[in-house]
């Protein structure tokens, strides 16, 4: 195929997550004009988002203004806008604000959490993908304790202090561990009528073990470590329904005011924009060089791409894979812009898996090296500080962590915005205003 463009080729990158950002950074100074489009003005370091939900960190600690990253690199422009579609014939990305023409297009818009067809569960069991998810979850968790402190209805108090986390992947394990620590340590002396340590934290997993990406003995370790923190781990437990009262499993009902969804992700929009078929998770099958079949000028990287890795497995939907894909595609485009060949196909290199469970406890799987316990925990911390791409945040995050580590306190436990709606409670309590004196305050 012949490539043609006036002057310099225009590269448009949709999404400034790990994939898109890594592509844009690789194209700094290349003979191309890059436009990054994202509906948010920041790149989010998702692996630490759960710490915003559990009041360890502030949103600004895990997010960087995209413009700030590229401010000194004049061949990179940024547009804050929502993509509505892609005009494949005219080669234009259509946003709510403008149409952006491209010679090369990188689709890197990531994934959303999926309720597997039960979208009606979403208001009762929010997931954790965006900053507003994290601040919403923080609000729900803290507010549940506040309501438990003043209610005089024992069963309602019980329900307010039950926390159910659905899904035993890294997000679920990390959230369960962090909420357990919040109730056991940070909030331990804050209340007068309830004991925050009485909170039940229940982790529900449909499969027969936690952390399926890890080898079985690390899954066992994670389960034991969570149980030591006071988390109840339920395996082989399938969720049948979630509503304002709590969660129904096949064999029991758990009344809970706070339910957190960490069970799965789905790719939205990308396939619709490109008018192609997808697999069940919405991913798009791409060529070995991550280009879209029939469109050598379009590439899909990160969670949205379905591409073979080895032994019949696909490249996993994790941050390092997105980063590697973005870098690979950027280099390929830079070569084409210089009139060179496309080069070798994409080869994913797997470095390993990490998941933290709580204070002094994590699991690390680097292939030959497998670690648990405090050494794994320190390694997890060092790795995350290292991968924070900015310069300012690592300093602040390290200071915050060090302080929390020494004091067991969580400084960011603010409830901002409006009070969450506890539908179940508000229905019940509307006619029976609790009386503080009666309640023995």
Give the H or E element holding residue 211: none
Pick the closer one to a second copy by CB: 307 or 397.
397
Strand partners, 86: 93
3-state secondary structure of 362: strand
Look at strands 265-266 and 112-113 and give their pairing: antiparallel
The answer to the question of residue 287 lying near a second copy (CB under 8 A) is no
The answer to the question of residue 99 lying near a second copy (CB under 8 A) is yes
The answer to the question of residue 100 lying near a second copy (CB under 8 A) is yes
The answer to the question of residue 195 lying near a second copy (CB under 8 A) is no
- Selected binder of a second copy within 308, 413, 423, 428 (CB under 8 A): 413
Instruction: Give CA–CA dist 54/412, Å, rounded.
Output: 8
Size of the site for a second copy (CB under 8 A): 65
- Selected binder of a second copy within 351, 366, 378, 403 (CB under 8 A): 403
The answer to the question of residue 409 lying near a second copy (CB under 8 A) is yes
| Structure-token pair, residue 412 | 């960011």
Give the H or E element holding residue 233: strand 231-234
Instruction: Reply yes or no on whether 181 is catalytic.
Output: no
- Selected binder of a second copy within 6, 72, 89, 368 (CB under 8 A): 72
Instruction: Give CA–CA dist 101/86, Å, rounded.
Output: 10
- Selected binder of a second copy within 392, 408, 421, 427 (CB under 8 A): 392
- Selected binder of a second copy within 98, 313, 375, 421 (CB under 8 A): 98
CB 141 within 8 A of CB 134: no
- Selected binder of a second copy within 120, 155, 236, 407 (CB under 8 A): 407
CB 94 within 8 A of CB 288: no
The answer to the question of residue 281 lying near a second copy (CB under 8 A) is no
- Best CA proximity match to 11, nearest among 301, 304, 307: 301
Look at strands 284-285 and 305-306 and give their pairing: parallel
Smallest gap from Cβ 142 to a second copy, in A, equals 7
Residues 6+ apart with CB under 8 A from 224: none
Which residues are catalytic, by number? 174
Q: What is the contact surface with a second copy in residues (CB under 8 A)?
A: 35, 40-42, 58-61, 63-65, 67-68, 71-72, 74, 77-81, 97-101, 131-132, 135, 142-143, 146-147, 149-150, 187-192, 390, 392-393, 395-396, 399-400, 403, 407, 409, 411-417, 433-437, 439, 441
């Amino acid at each position: 195929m012949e490539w043609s463009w006036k002057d310099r080729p225009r590269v448009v990158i949709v999404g400034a997550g790990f994939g898109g950002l890594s592509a844009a950074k690789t194209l700094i100074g290349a003979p191309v004009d890059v436009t990054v489009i994202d509906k948010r003005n920041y790149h989010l370091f998702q692996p630490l988002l759960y710490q915003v939900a559990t009041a360890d960190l502030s949103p600004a600690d895990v997010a960087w203004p995209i413009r700030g990253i590229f401010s000194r690199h004049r061949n990179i422009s940024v547009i804050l806008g929502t993509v509505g579609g892609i005009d494949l014939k005219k080669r234009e990305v259509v946003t709510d604000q403008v149409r952006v023409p491209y010679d090369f297009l990188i689709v890197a818009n990531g994934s959303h959490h999926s309720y597997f067809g039960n979208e009606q569960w979403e208001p009762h069991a929010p997931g954790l993908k965006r900053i507003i998810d994290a601040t919403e979850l923080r609000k729900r968790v803290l507010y549940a304790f506040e309501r438990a402190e003043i209610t005089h209805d024992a069963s309602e108090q019980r329900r307010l202090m039950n926390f159910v986390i659905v899904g035993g992947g890294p997000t679920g394990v990390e959230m369960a561990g962090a909420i357990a620590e919040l109730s056991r340590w940070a909030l331990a002396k804050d209340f007068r009528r309830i004991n925050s340590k009485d909170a039940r934290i229940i982790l529900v997993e449909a499969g027969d073990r936690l952390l399926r990406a890890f080898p079985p003995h690390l899954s066992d370790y994670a389960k034991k470590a969570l149980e030591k923190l006071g988390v109840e781990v339920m395996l082989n437990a399938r969720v049948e329904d979630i509503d304002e009262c709590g969660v129904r499993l096949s064999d029991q009902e758990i009344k809970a005011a706070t339910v957190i969804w960490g069970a799965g992700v789905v790719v939205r929009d990308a396939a619709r924009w490109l008018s192609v078929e997808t697999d069940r998770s919405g991913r798009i099958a791409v060529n070995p060089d991550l280009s879209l079949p029939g469109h050598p000028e379009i590439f899909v990287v990160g969670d949205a791409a379905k591409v073979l890795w080895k032994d019949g497995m696909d490249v996993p939907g994790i941050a390092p894979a997105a980063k590697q894909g973005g870098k690979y595609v950027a280099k390929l485009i830079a070569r084409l812009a210089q009139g060179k060949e496309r080069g070798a196909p994409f080869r994913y290199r797997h470095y390993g898996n990490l998941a933290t469970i709580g204070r002094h406890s994590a699991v690390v799987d680097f292939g030959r090296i497998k670690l648990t316990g405090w050494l794994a925990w320190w390694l997890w911390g060092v790795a995350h500080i290292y991968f924070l791409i900015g310069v300012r945040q690592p300093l602040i995050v390290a200071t915050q962590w060090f302080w929390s580590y020494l004091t067991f306190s969580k400084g960011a436990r603010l409830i901002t915005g409006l009070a969450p709606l506890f539908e179940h409670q508000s229905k019940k309590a509307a006619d029976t205003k609790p009386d503080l004196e009666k309640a023995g305050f």
